[in-house]
């Protein structure tokens, strides 16, 4: 009994409501941990199969497309930006009963919907892989992709439940367990790579022979771990579950009304990922995996910066929009957007010049194809980081229609660019260039519409700051290029330990120049960072002077 009470008290303490700044730090830290686990996950997987069984690795990568697509259109980002504002509005108005009724109805509805989707994937995996996802794979790889997709098909159901539970925690400002979930998902996949690929033996009975299919089992294991930590995060929140959908609940009806627009918005992004996989499957072995690996590396800074910061700010934006406090809303929105640009721009530029070093982290000796595709993603890192807060500027005011319309237009731009560039001999790099072109168009249009509506969310002062940040980031990029000549990658640098120190030196020197440049250019957003650095560096000196 004492152990149980101690467990509940520890969990309740972890569920303490966090400030926006603390929440951003927690989310960014957990995202960094998840990203590092992702690096080691990909490194181990690539070392086992990238050169020895590239067709199998392409099949594994292709198997994710449809399950991920259905999860994202049914639940993921759609839920986070539709459920949270409506749930928050009820809590702000003191209507807790309606808020919890809304959460249970949403959970049950999406669980049922995603369960049906998972069953359909299992049934139709063969034609989906053969005619939609990866028609360019050889017959052996295609058969493997079909079987893997059937295993991974359970994930939309598991993810939908854990995402609803996590969104409830996010809505009330509890981010600890919300942040742990993605890291545990990667832990599950790593277990699949290191353990399940060797086979599963219970009491001397071989129940699974192993091989690359073990990685697919690890994916499901990771989803179960993610669900478990999401359930633990409910302790102390007062959530009393029952299997009931209250169709008369006005909040639930509002979520259902908003959900299709955001789901379609999310779906467009993942339709494009399926199209990219289809096109890459026709470009020869390793093309699917090379594009996916570069895309994964691109997503890391976007998640660390754009997603983490916008997720932390979103509950406050929703509250201010719910109160009708436009002045506070503008201030919060600009603060989030400027912070995202300040951090993402130097990361993108430094990543461009150090892409060879970065690729070495996920594959011994690096890979020119992955590095080339990553270089083509550089603009997308900045604009897609911005997108997460720009879109939330609409979602906080419960406007999901406008981002959807722009996403449809951006989708058209991307698909035309992808087909033209890939057919012109650019290979998987052309798919990445198309993503960057589309991202610039999408964010630019959303910002333009926000200003046209008279919100004045971005003004002349914002663009002045943007230009100054771009100048500072360009100087940092020049330094990065010079440092890569001083500390070049050599043929002997085929291990993580050989590459990482060089990468750290190049990055730290470049960032130091960036911070100095921002200070000289009087960019206000850099002041909290420089103040924190000064406090850390000179704390001991100040303490000794007092003594």
Q: Between these two residues, 89 and 66, which has the higher pLDDT value?
A: 66
Nearest to 265 by CA among 464, 133, 411: 411
pTM score of the predicted model: 0.77
Contacts of 107-111 spanning 24+ positions with Cβ under 8 A: 107/161, 107/164, 107/165, 107/241, 108/243, 108/244, 108/245, 109/245, 109/252, 109/256, 110/74, 110/75, 110/79, 110/160, 110/161, 110/164, 111/157, 111/160, 111/161, 111/164
Please give the pLDDT value at position 495: 75
What are the residue boundaries of the structural domains of the chain, listed by start?
1-261
For 519, other C-beta atoms within 10 Å of its C-beta total: 14
Nearest to 494 by CA among 83, 162, 43, 22: 43
How far out from the chain centre does Cα 343 lie? 16
Specify the 3-state DSSP secondary structure of 332.
helix
Tokens of 313: 């700010």
DSSP string, 122-191: HHHHHHIIIIII-TTS-HHHHHHHHHHHHHHTTHHHHHHHHHHHHHHHHHTT--HHHHHHHHHHHHHHHH
For 424, other C-beta atoms within 10 Å of its C-beta total: 9
Q: What are phi and psi of 50, to 5 degrees?
A: -60, -45
Specify the 3-state DSSP secondary structure of 200.
strand
pLDDT(97) > 90:
no
Q: Between these two residues, 224 and 272, which has the higher pLDDT value?
A: 224
pLDDT(338) > 60:
yes
Please give the pLDDT value at position 457: 73
446-461 pLDDT, tens per residue?
998 887 765 677 778 8
Q: How confident is the model at residue 522 (pLDDT cuts 50, 70, 90)?
A: confident
d(CA 212, CA 543): 56
Window from 30-39, 125-134, 351-360 with minimum mean pLDDT: 30-39
Nearest to 53 by CA among 129, 142, 141: 141
Q: How confident is the model at residue 348 (pLDDT cuts 50, 70, 90)?
A: very high
125-169 pLDDT, tens per residue?
999 999 999 998 999 999 999 999 999 999 999 998 988 888 787
170-185 pLDDT, tens per residue?
777 677 777 788 889 9
Nearest to 181 by CA among 232, 117, 218, 215: 232
Q: Which residues are CB-neighbours of 503 under 8 A, at least 6 positions away?
A: 354, 357, 358, 361
Please give the pLDDT value at position 95: 79
Q: Which residues are CB-neighbours of 219 under 8 A, at least 6 positions away?
A: 64, 151, 152, 155, 188, 189, 192
Average pLDDT, the chain: 84
pLDDT(543) > 80:
no
d(CA 363, CA 44): 8
**Region of 236 on the Ramachandran plot (φ > 0 left; ψ -120 to 50 alpha; else beta):** left
424-450 pLDDT, tens per residue?
888 899 999 999 999 999 999 999 888
Q: What are phi and psi of 138, to 5 degrees?
A: -75, 170
Q: Which residues are CB-neighbours of 157 under 8 A, at least 6 positions away?
A: 111, 114, 115, 117, 118
DSSP string, 32-71: HHHHHHHHHHHHHHHHHHTTT-HHHHHHHHHHTHHHHHHH
pLDDT(113) > 70:
yes
Please give the pLDDT value at position 17: 59
Note whether 377 and 349 are within 8 A (CB). Answer: no
Specify the 3-state DSSP secondary structure of 205.
strand
Please give the pLDDT value at position 483: 95
Q: How confident is the model at residue 72 (pLDDT cuts 50, 70, 90)?
A: confident
Angstrom CA distances, 459 to 160, 277, 447, 448, stand at 39, 39, 10, 11
Stretch 405-415: mean pLDDT = 92
Can you tell me which residue has the tokens 């545990």?
Answer: 184
4-31 pLDDT, tens per residue?
555 455 555 555 655 666 766 777 787 7
Window from 219-223, 323-327, 415-419, 486-490 with minimum mean pLDDT: 323-327
pLDDT(342) > 90:
yes
Nearest to 114 by CA among 66, 179, 82, 146: 66
């Amino acid at each position: 009994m004492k152990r149980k009470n101690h467990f509940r008290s520890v969990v309740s303490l972890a569920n303490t409501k966090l400030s926006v700044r603390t929440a951003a730090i927690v989310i960014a830290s957990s995202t960094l941990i998840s990203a590092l686990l992702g690096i080691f996950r990909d490194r181990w997987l690539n070392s086992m199969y990238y050169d020895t069984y590239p067709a199998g690795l392409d099949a594994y990568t292709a198997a994710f497309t449809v399950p991920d697509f259905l999860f994202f259109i049914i639940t993921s980002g759609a839920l986070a930006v539709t459920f949270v504002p409506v749930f928050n509005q009820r809590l702000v108005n003191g209507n807790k009963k309606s808020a919890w009724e809304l959460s249970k109805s949403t959970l049950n509805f999406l669980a049922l919907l995603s369960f049906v989707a998972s069953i359909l994937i299992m049934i139709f995996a063969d034609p989906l892989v053969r005619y939609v996802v990866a028609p360019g794979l050889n017959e052996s790889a295609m058969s493997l992709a079909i079987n893997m997709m059937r295993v991974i098909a359970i994930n939309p159901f598991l993810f939908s439940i854990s995402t609803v539970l996590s969104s409830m925690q996010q809505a009330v400002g509890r981010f600890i367990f919300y942040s742990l979930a993605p890291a545990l998902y990667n832990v599950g996949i790593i277990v699949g790579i290191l353990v399940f690929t060797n086979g599963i033996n219970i009491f001397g009975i071989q129940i699974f022979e192993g091989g690359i299919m073990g990685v697919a089992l690890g994916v499901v294991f990771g989803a179960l771990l993610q669900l478990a930590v999401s359930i633990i995060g409910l302790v102390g929140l007062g959530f009393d579950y029952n299997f009931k959908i209250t169709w008369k609940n006005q909040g639930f009806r509002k979520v259902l009304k908003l959900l299709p627009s955001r789901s379609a918005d999310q779906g467009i992004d993942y339709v494009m990922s399926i199209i990219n996989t289809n096109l890459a499957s026709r470009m020869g072995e390793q093309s699917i995996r090379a594009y996916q690996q570069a895309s994964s590396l691109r997503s890391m800074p976007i998640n660390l910066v754009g997603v983490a910061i916008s997720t932390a700010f979103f509950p406050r934006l929703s509250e201010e929009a719910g109160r009708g406090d436009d002045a506070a809303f503008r201030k919060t929105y600009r603060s989030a957007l400027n912070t995202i640009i300040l951090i993402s721009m130097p990361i993108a530029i430094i990543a461009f010049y150090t892409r060879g070093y970065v690729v070495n982290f996920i594959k011994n000796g690096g890979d020119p194809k992955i590095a080339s595709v990553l270089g083509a993603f550089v603009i997308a890192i900045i604009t897609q980081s911005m997108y997460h807060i720009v879109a939330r500027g609409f979602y906080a005011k419960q406007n999901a229609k406008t981002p959807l319309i722009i996403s449809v237009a951006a989708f058209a731009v991307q698909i035309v660019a992808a087909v033209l560039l890939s057919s012109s001999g650019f290979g998987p790099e052309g798919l990445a260039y198309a993503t960057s072109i589309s991202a610039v168009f999408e964010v630019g249009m959303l910002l333009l519409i926000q200003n046209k509506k008279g919100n004045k969310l971005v003004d002349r002062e914002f663009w002045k700051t943007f230009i100054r940040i771009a100048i500072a980031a360009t100087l940092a990029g020049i330094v990065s290029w010079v440092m890569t000549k001083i500390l070049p990658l050599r043929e002997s640098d085929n291990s993580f330990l050989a590459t990482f120190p060089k990468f750290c030196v190049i990055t730290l020197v470049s960032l130091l120049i960036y911070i100095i440049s921002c200070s000289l250019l009087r960019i206000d957003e850099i002041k909290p960072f420089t103040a924190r650095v000064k406090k850390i560096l000179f704390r001991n000196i100040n303490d000794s002077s007092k003594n």
